Amino acid sequence: MSLACRLTAFGFKPPALTVENVPALEPGAHEVLVRMLAAPINPADLNVIEGTYGELPSLPCTIGNEGVGVVERVGASVSGFAVGQTVLPLAFGTWAEQMVVPAESLVALPEGLDPLQAAMLVVNPATAWRMIHDFAKLEPGDWIVQNAANSGVGRSVIQLAKALGLRTLNVVRRAELIDELRAGGADVVVTEDTDLRTETLTLCGGVLPKLGLNAVGGASALNVANALCAGAPLVTYGAMGRQPLKIPNGLLIFKNISFQGFWLRRWKKSAPPAEVRATYEKLAGYLAAGVLHTPVHNVFPLDQALEAIAEAAQEKRSGKVLLRMS
Ligand SMILES: NC(=O)c1ccc[n+]([C@@H]2O[C@H](COP(=O)([O-])OP(=O)(O)OC[C@H]3O[C@@H](n4cnc5c(N)ncnc54)[C@H](OP(=O)(O)O)[C@@H]3O)[C@@H](O)[C@H]2O)c1
């Protein structure tokens, strides 16, 4: 038997979410049995539990969208993975001591990484990396503007942009985060009450950003859109403020701003497997080199997953809440 966090109904109704013993798993011929080490609790996990996410699993199921583990056993036809090797499962069901993953959905990691940091590589750094690369042609020195800049994605954008020679204009809703983000590589950090329509040219030294990233919606998204240069995209990837975007006609007519969306799950399904693997190998290199780092707010053992979920649902955290399996 092994422990797993199981969901039997949507909507945060106890006992719809339980941590329970499930039968020990066996890998099929093309599968790998992974002993999980750690997994974070992301906003999307909360949306899955409440039943509001864009794609919902069939119930009952073990939940969790990312994490890190080590190979415990390989199926008879699997090559390229060895027992004890650290791996990233690109599969659902990570909040468990064990999971069975098709070999083609595993990425081998370099040894020696901090398991908590490695557990957070699949979702947020990859979202940041793809959004930086897939929507605008950016050259070193170009600016990106984003809201929710202290979020996991926001910090990855800051760190990866810095490594690529790009500059970031960052919006946060808490002034106490300004110095911390600047120390972490952010070029400019302002609070939500800064009018980017009038202030951006001054803040960015006379040029306007070529890429906008929005994880909030509502007035915050419009503020970010107002900072952009003509023809630039505003990419929406999150809706933390739960307010719709209201787009003034002028942003479309006079500035030709394009409003687009990004969903990592769509990219993982539609991108060539080689691109997906190359993205994670690149990001693992950045993690090993110390370029990527996500602050940790708290770590809970798996059998305290319900307490961990309640803490992850709180605003104004100092980082991610994670589950540690062993
Ligand atoms: N589309 C995709 O593929 C994709 C991939 C990854 C993440 N996401 C989405 O991106 C967003 C951020 O995820 P994450 O894991 O990086 O988040 P996170 O690390 O958990 O941080 C949450 C962020 O949202 C901010 N926030 C919360 N409520 C807010 C509100 N009402 N108004 C403004 N800001 C608010 C928080 O600010 P405080 O610290 O001040 O509370 C914090 O910056 C989520 O919506 C997530 O679902 C989407």
Residue-wise pLDDT for 59-94, tens only, equals 999 999 999 999 999 999 999 999 999 999 999 999
Spatial separation of the C-alpha atoms in residues 14 and 307, rounded to whole Å: 12
Å from CA of 197 to ligand 1 middle? 23
Q: Which atom of ligand 1 is nearest to the CA of 239?
A: 45
- Residues in contact with ligand 1 by the CB-under-6-Å rule are 42-44, 123-124, 127, 148, 150-153, 173-174, 215-216, 237-241, 262-264, 315-316, 320
Single-letter amino acid code for the residue at 161: A
DSSP letter at 96 equals B
Domain boundaries, the chain: 2-120+294-324, 124-265
Q: Where are the alpha helices (H) located in 119-239, listed in sequence order?
A: 124-134, 152-164, 178-183, 196-203, 218-226
Ligand 1 pocket, mutate which of 171, 315, 317, 318 (most atoms under 8 A from CB): 315
CATH architecture observed for domain 124-265: 3-Layer(aba) Sandwich (3.40)
Phi, psi (deg, nearest 5) at residue 276: -65, -50
Instruction: Give the pLDDT confidence score for residue 15 in this predicted structure.
Output: 77
Please report, in angstroms and rounded to a whole number, the separation of the first and last CA atoms in the chain: 15
Calculate Rg over the CA atoms of the chain. 20
Instruction: Give the pLDDT confidence score for residue 204 in this predicted structure.
Output: 98
Spatial separation of the C-alpha atoms in residues 93 and 100, rounded to whole Å: 9
Look up tokens 């009952």; give the residue: 60
Q: Which atom of ligand 1 is nearest to the CA of 173?
A: 40
Helix (H) or strand (E) holding 235: strand 233-236
Spatial separation of the C-alpha atoms in residues 234 and 236, rounded to whole Å: 6
The domain 2-120+294-324 is classified under which CATH number: 2.130.10.10, 3.40.1160.10, 3.90.180.10, 3.40.50.300?
Answer: 3.90.180.10
Å from CA of 148 to ligand 1 middle? 6
pLDDT digits (tens, 9 = 90+) for 285-325: 999 999 999 999 999 999 999 999 999 999 999 999 999 99
Cα of 203 vs its chain's centroid, Å: 27
Nearest to 169 by CA among 226, 243, 120, 121: 226
Å from CA of 215 to ligand 1 middle? 6
DSSP letter at 58 equals P
Q: Which atom of ligand 1 is nearest to the CA of 242?
A: 31
Spatial separation of the C-alpha atoms in residues 314 and 169, rounded to whole Å: 26
Instruction: Dump strand ranges (E) for the chain.
Output: 2-7, 17-22, 31-41, 61-62, 68-74, 86-89, 98-102, 106-108, 143-146, 167-172, 188-191, 211-214, 233-236, 258-261, 296-301, 320-324
Per-residue pLDDT tens digits of the chain, which is 326 residues long: 999 999 999 998 777 999 999 999 999 999 999 999 999 999 999 999 999 999 999 999 999 999 999 999 999 999 999 999 999 999 999 999 999 999 999 999 999 999 999 999 999 999 999 999 999 999 999 999 999 999 999 999 999 999 999 999 999 999 999 999 999 999 999 999 999 999 999 999 999 999 999 999 999 999 999 999 999 999 999 999 999 999 999 999 999 999 999 999 999 999 999 999 999 999 999 999 999 999 999 999 999 999 999 999 999 999 999 999 97
